[in-house]
Structure 1
């Protein structure tokens, strides 16, 4: 299968202009608010929630800020070929430059790095990027600790410990070993391997010990850490390491790990001095509080944004220690976002993240918590206003973010943007329950229906009819189809799979998309995914065999696979792989970050001929690693599109373990406003007065609109000609009815049919004279601007002429 590519292409023009949707990105980004982006950011920051502290002089206290740098691996890896060409710098360098610049204003005595300094330990240039960034702190005399993550060692097998490495061959030690650590005045020493270190820093008249421990510490290293604590019996201890606690599939709840529990039992719980831990490695943000052997609280914090937009988008942790008021305030901030060129900003560029584990306050009675080992511990001079607020002020000064992008759930099954050039749009909403063999999944845009391939033809001897179902429960909230097809118990080791396919004569099979394309779908990975049974499974495939494509160069990976496929790697990354129209260029691939299990995401793949790039968007955000020098697809004629399986060596394999929602293919690149996560354009309402603006009797109004929309039609007389005030007929008529004719208004409500047409019967007949018709269409609480038409009725009601 495809390894992670080493030279990703630059992001396409479409990616740079797309604002994305306001979805939470893989659970890592909080919903957008005016306080985070937009012109009023500075004003809104002052009114932040109760986690922010007032900056008035009356609130002065003894305070300092601890800075935390989570995984920087993608900053190091993509500095030269992504970040610098696109922006002029990289997030890692901007982070350290900002910390160096504000260290005095924020009273930062120390910075911690949580590991995964680089992405590929064997690539020297990545170490050079990291070296440059950390040298910035050294030049500014801002002490820091650093430690190796699994990407910083040559063999990241988690069954190995630091004692199992060939230390002479570890690049980490060449770049960040003890010989470099001594540049920090806080450095106290390293363990025998040199991969772990400790520091003692001073703030507000008190000292704190930081233990920076390697990716997988041996018993010897854990014993060393215990000895370090024993040699400093009165110091509060902050433990940093790469892997400790994890985050559950809900994206917020912390969960323990086997290795983390080992550290808890052998190091953290027995040492009352350890009151705070930090780790990265697991993607997202989480925290938990546990009681140690002394019955005291230990707060454990996970922070890692490498799989978010822009490889982490420069987010770091800023922890304000308020020794006077007994609290620690955490905020997640990005100096990179506020540094970026204005024209590069998207809706994901938020200076602050304000989710439950991204901005919070820890109440801690320092004197009580540390009283057992540091009875003299106390605050310094209360002369600092809120450093949390000061950090916000510094970052937001002069920053104008993009306008927030909002989304709303669909109001009907037709509440999605119709796009000219749609080649196929497969929807499941008309189906439910077990999907029988040969059942048809309609293409609502053309003649490319799919069907469930019978088990006898699927090549899977272990599949069951019940393996494929259509569900209407808990589907993606922005899919107006409200349904999805789910593939259960797919297992490549047991050859169990099921799938859908277009017919061999479907027109979409033979489209090469040489003018670019947009392919989008909704995907969910089953929570039972394992690497052994489901790695490299595929959700959407243009089947065929690459080796038979004229001019296709040989490759070690997937030489006999399909020309085009979207699936999931062994590392739970989305992989889009395609052979472009120019077959001789070979495979082109885009990669996401790690995808959280059991959670719906929207995936859009946009091929832009303007710069020959294919950009993958996950929940609206462009991924960092995209495909370049690619246009359209090379295809085998008459080979079907598939949902639910891969196609390699001319047979189905690696079935999708999870669900697939509505899926659409468009013959040109589009942006977020036209994707299925957007809402229908209500401005396309049309009214048809087929008889022109003069009619004898208006019995029906027709038109076109958005399927499922409610159309309100109001008809008002503007200049009646009968009865006529002062006319003899009028006087006679009043005498007959014993009353004058009042003004007459008509209001008619109807619904647009599935084919986009609507009609409304006008009854009773309108009076003779000029009338104004106003029509609007609405979906939920959204309503179009009115469409108006003026017409004249030339016959009075009941007249038979």
Structure 2
């Protein structure tokens, strides 16, 4: 009987999540609790309540930067403009009393074209008369150093104040005032008969600005307050867990914790979505919410926050939605285009009894009229009306070191976890598990660095959680000012050195930039390089930049952007370059570089999302023959230099373009698991030697639930588990044993004793396992021979031997026994064979012992 795991109702569709690894949130002595989680669409659509929607605009920097040269030429508009247009259009339907922008309005502060794009977008709200706040992020000020504050700026020279200064803010309904710098403001909005205060603090508020903010709160002591700023909480590399930030703790200690009015905060800056709740000095909860989608597809793909306050039901429902996605042409949609993001921290509900929470400072707070439907549902209806999009992309962390998708055409795969963590000695090698291109640490004396030290390179187990290798190699103390660097290299004769990838390629790796990175010490450093000198390539045109650099290199710019530069097979085309957005320090990311021969385009994917600026008219790579691949340093002017200040995880090179389901961040499917097992009651004397089935190659199949066993699925997708118990002695086994089988545990006796046998089967990779196959079967007991049972004997009517001995060898007795059991000593077969998905074969060996004739 073929069994497969039971079918379950399909899980809710999940949106795109960024990748990376994480650590537990450091509480730093504060009380941290997880907000109550529920689905954002709980409310009954027809049930009226006292509700309103706060709209939140996270970092719009890339929308402004690429409005003129990317978005408008391709779509006729940009995401920022579409966001504000949609909010203005549906203001009444969603009962939106206020819109909060979280900063990084533009990407490059001194480019007027970006400010023009931002101006056009926000002007839509101005014309609609919608109350809003806007604040400066680190990209919106001319000097964003952490040790500079808003009082250190030359205010007259700041573009932010020229475009979004206090004179513009004064025209916004609900504007209350600004601090002397103009970077910090407050607003009051009314919703459902109640007033709320929004305190919008710009990048790096000074002590004077925080004192101004305290004065605002003191002047409005009864108003529940929402604090918005650009940087407050961070997010761990697991893309889920909140992490405390030094500047955020400054705001907490000096302003938030001592003011019970502040019950909710929003910030951007750190790429991703997370939240946590902590107790203030009054013992009340303050919830911090991070929203920032700039590293997602198309610089954020137009995602904004729709935050529904349900004053009567006592909850805040958050959903992440994109008006931009639903207005794109159908033919332009990709799997990244989802109207809603529904992964962790992207759609959820917070429980809050507003009257109780505000009782200490606003005892007269009331719920307000119950005149609004579920605004969360209204927003979903508006965005989903007529939209037909592709399925989203989902991700799972590996369950073991073997839990990755193997791909034909892999020409190199470097992993660092096999040798354990610790310093890397000079000359120490790391195996290429797919080919013959082992990496070795180049001796310091041969490296070209006069300042490198043996301890500058180490293997660590702090790795991206989506890397099944679980380890990385880290390069410390790299500094181009002191010429300190170290690196690994392949041997000069490694076959991968000479590959030109004329059918395209995929190069993927995991990278982390050390928190000590600075532009002065580490700008334009490289992580992975195909070393050589591009000026020596036949037909290479002269270039002002990188003319004597290597033919291909992945590194980081002076603005913390990943850069992939390469010279295609047709050398005369010159170099081609792909660029990411800003990379957050001390954060693991996955980078995939995919060169598609069908489109002659190289696309850089960061955490699964394609970047906006990619190389075109490029196929394969031109190389200097016999030059090694280098990990940890650049190679320019025929020498190594400018080392990588950070870590490199497992890295793989494939000789053709691949898709995300084949990357190192993907997991082998556990679907198609099946087994051929006995069912019901087997005849007396049956034996069950083994269970076989089909599964995922490389997965471990585990048998539990009464029976025990384990097997690894082979390359054909087949597996086999021997059953029974180890033989007591020799081949003969013990009593009741009639068949033997050889498995991983040695000689085993097949199941033969009467009884009920329950089982549970799973396949998987370590902690990631399939749904179980469960069941049971019974081996019947042999019928009692009347001639040997109680009272048997002459005249007992049992048909026994005249002398009363069991197993009589008389002719009559022998004929009777043979007629009921088959030929003496022979096997009467029960084979339940085959079938199974994925081309695998299954076999359960079930046999019935011939009962020996009584003597």
1:709 and 2:697 correspond: no
The aligned residue for residue 283 of structure 1 is 271
CA drift of 1:92 comes to 0.9
CA drift of 1:303 comes to 1.8
> Where do 1:551-570 residues align within 5 Å?
551-555=540-544, 558-569=546-557
CA drift of 1:503 comes to 2.7
> Where do 1:143-542 residues align within 5 Å?
143-405=131-393, 409=398, 413=402, 416-420=405-409, 422-426=410-414, 437-443=426-432, 447-460=436-449, 482=469, 484=471, 486-492=473-479, 497-525=485-513, 536-542=524-530
Higher relative contact order (CA 8 A, sep 6+): 1
> Where do 1:777-788 residues align within 5 Å?
784-786=838-840
CA drift of 1:111 comes to 0.7
Whether the aligned pair in 1 keeps the contact of 2:416 and 2:473 (CA below 8 Å) is no
CA drift of 1:180 comes to 2.5
Secondary structure, aligned partner of 1:25: coil
- Alpha-carbon separation, structure 2, partners of 1:680 and 1:275: 44
Quick one: structure 1 residues 426 and 786, their matched pair in 2 at CA, closer, same or farther if it must change by over 3 Å? same
Secondary structure, aligned partner of 1:173: helix
Whether the aligned pair in 1 keeps the contact of 2:336 and 2:393 (CA below 8 Å) is no
CA drift of 1:384 comes to 2.0
Quick one: structure 1 residues 377 and 607, their matched pair in 2 at CA, closer, same or farther if it must change by over 3 Å? same
CA drift of 1:307 comes to 1.9
The aligned residue for residue 48 of structure 2 is 60
- Alpha-carbon separation, structure 2, partners of 1:428 and 1:299: 40
The aligned residue for residue 26 of structure 1 is 19
- Alpha-carbon separation, structure 1, partners of 2:663 and 2:288: 40
- Alpha-carbon separation, structure 2, partners of 1:292 and 1:712: 58
Whether the aligned pair in 2 keeps the contact of 1:490 and 1:656 (CA below 8 Å) is no
- Alpha-carbon separation, structure 2, partners of 1:334 and 1:375: 38
- Alpha-carbon separation, structure 2, partners of 1:682 and 1:209: 51
Secondary structure, aligned partner of 2:189: strand
CA drift of 1:452 comes to 3.6
- Alpha-carbon separation, structure 1, partners of 2:431 and 2:86: 54
Quick one: structure 1 residues 637 and 90, their matched pair in 2 at CA, closer, same or farther if it must change by over 3 Å? same
The aligned residue for residue 40 of structure 1 is none
The aligned residue for residue 38 of structure 1 is none
Q: Deviations over 1:724-757 (max 9, x none)?
A: xxxxxxxxxx9x977999668598xxxxxxxxxx
- Alpha-carbon separation, structure 2, partners of 1:669 and 1:250: 27
- Alpha-carbon separation, structure 2, partners of 1:141 and 1:358: 29
Whether the aligned pair in 1 keeps the contact of 2:19 and 2:466 (CA below 8 Å) is no
- Alpha-carbon separation, structure 2, partners of 1:306 and 1:122: 20
CA drift of 1:546 comes to 4.1
Quick one: structure 1 residues 540 and 429, their matched pair in 2 at CA, closer, same or farther if it must change by over 3 Å? same
Q: Deviations over 1:300-325 (max 9, x none)?
A: 32222212222112221222222223
Quick one: structure 1 residues 175 and 365, their matched pair in 2 at CA, closer, same or farther if it must change by over 3 Å? same
CA drift of 1:83 comes to 2.3
Whether the aligned pair in 2 keeps the contact of 1:410 and 1:679 (CA below 8 Å) is no
- Alpha-carbon separation, structure 2, partners of 1:355 and 1:345: 20
Unaligned 5+ segments in structure 2 are 1-13, 23-36, 672-695, 699-713, 721-818, 843-855
* TM-score normalized by the length of structure 1: 0.74
- Alpha-carbon separation, structure 1, partners of 2:393 and 2:234: 31
Secondary structure, aligned partner of 2:81: helix
How many residue pairs get aligned? The number is: 677
Quick one: structure 1 residues 369 and 508, their matched pair in 2 at CA, closer, same or farther if it must change by over 3 Å? closer
The aligned residue for residue 109 of structure 2 is 121
The aligned residue for residue 562 of structure 2 is 574
- Alpha-carbon separation, structure 2, partners of 1:104 and 1:576: 47
1:545 and 2:599 correspond: no
The aligned residue for residue 691 of structure 1 is none
- Choose which of 631, 640, 647 in structure 2 pairs with 1:652: 640
> Where do 1:44-59 residues align within 5 Å?
49-57=38-46, 59=47
Quick one: structure 1 residues 503 and 188, their matched pair in 2 at CA, closer, same or farther if it must change by over 3 Å? same
Quick one: structure 1 residues 327 and 466, their matched pair in 2 at CA, closer, same or farther if it must change by over 3 Å? same
Q: Deviations over 1:653-712 (max 9, x none)?
A: 3444555444333444333344444567999xxxxxxxxxxxxxxxxxxxxx97852654
Whether the aligned pair in 2 keeps the contact of 1:525 and 1:598 (CA below 8 Å) is yes
Q: Alignment RMSD, CA only?
A: 4.1
- Alpha-carbon separation, structure 2, partners of 1:274 and 1:713: 60
Whether the aligned pair in 1 keeps the contact of 2:237 and 2:588 (CA below 8 Å) is no
Unaligned 5+ segments in structure 1 are 1-20, 30-47, 684-704, 715-733, 748-773, 777-782, 789-801
The aligned residue for residue 725 of structure 1 is none
Secondary structure, aligned partner of 1:589: strand
> Where do 1:78-89 residues align within 5 Å?
78-89=66-77
The aligned residue for residue 722 of structure 1 is none
Quick one: structure 1 residues 515 and 656, their matched pair in 2 at CA, closer, same or farther if it must change by over 3 Å? same
1:623 and 2:611 correspond: yes
Whether the aligned pair in 2 keeps the contact of 1:196 and 1:213 (CA below 8 Å) is yes
- Alpha-carbon separation, structure 2, partners of 1:255 and 1:665: 33
- Alpha-carbon separation, structure 2, partners of 1:177 and 1:336: 28
- Alpha-carbon separation, structure 2, partners of 1:119 and 1:258: 23
* TM-score normalized by the length of structure 2: 0.69
- Alpha-carbon separation, structure 1, partners of 2:236 and 2:656: 38
Quick one: structure 1 residues 509 and 382, their matched pair in 2 at CA, closer, same or farther if it must change by over 3 Å? same
Which has the larger Rg?
2
Quick one: structure 1 residues 256 and 775, their matched pair in 2 at CA, closer, same or farther if it must change by over 3 Å? closer
- Alpha-carbon separation, structure 1, partners of 2:565 and 2:505: 14
Quick one: structure 1 residues 235 and 125, their matched pair in 2 at CA, closer, same or farther if it must change by over 3 Å? same
- Choose which of 622, 637, 658 in structure 1 pairs with 2:625: 637
Whether the aligned pair in 1 keeps the contact of 2:55 and 2:99 (CA below 8 Å) is yes
CA drift of 1:278 comes to 2.1
Whether the aligned pair in 1 keeps the contact of 2:49 and 2:312 (CA below 8 Å) is yes
Quick one: structure 1 residues 181 and 510, their matched pair in 2 at CA, closer, same or farther if it must change by over 3 Å? same
CA drift of 1:559 comes to 4.7
- Alpha-carbon separation, structure 2, partners of 1:536 and 1:661: 20
- Alpha-carbon separation, structure 2, partners of 1:357 and 1:85: 33
> Where do 1:133-152 residues align within 5 Å?
133-152=121-140
Whether the aligned pair in 2 keeps the contact of 1:55 and 1:390 (CA below 8 Å) is no
Quick one: structure 1 residues 183 and 584, their matched pair in 2 at CA, closer, same or farther if it must change by over 3 Å? farther
Q: Deviations over 1:529-584 (max 9, x none)?
A: 666765544331011234555644343x5454323111244555432122344556
Whether the aligned pair in 2 keeps the contact of 1:249 and 1:597 (CA below 8 Å) is no
- Alpha-carbon separation, structure 1, partners of 2:363 and 2:178: 28
Whether the aligned pair in 2 keeps the contact of 1:489 and 1:496 (CA below 8 Å) is no
Whether the aligned pair in 2 keeps the contact of 1:28 and 1:305 (CA below 8 Å) is no
Secondary structure, aligned partner of 2:19: helix
Quick one: structure 1 residues 506 and 63, their matched pair in 2 at CA, closer, same or farther if it must change by over 3 Å? same
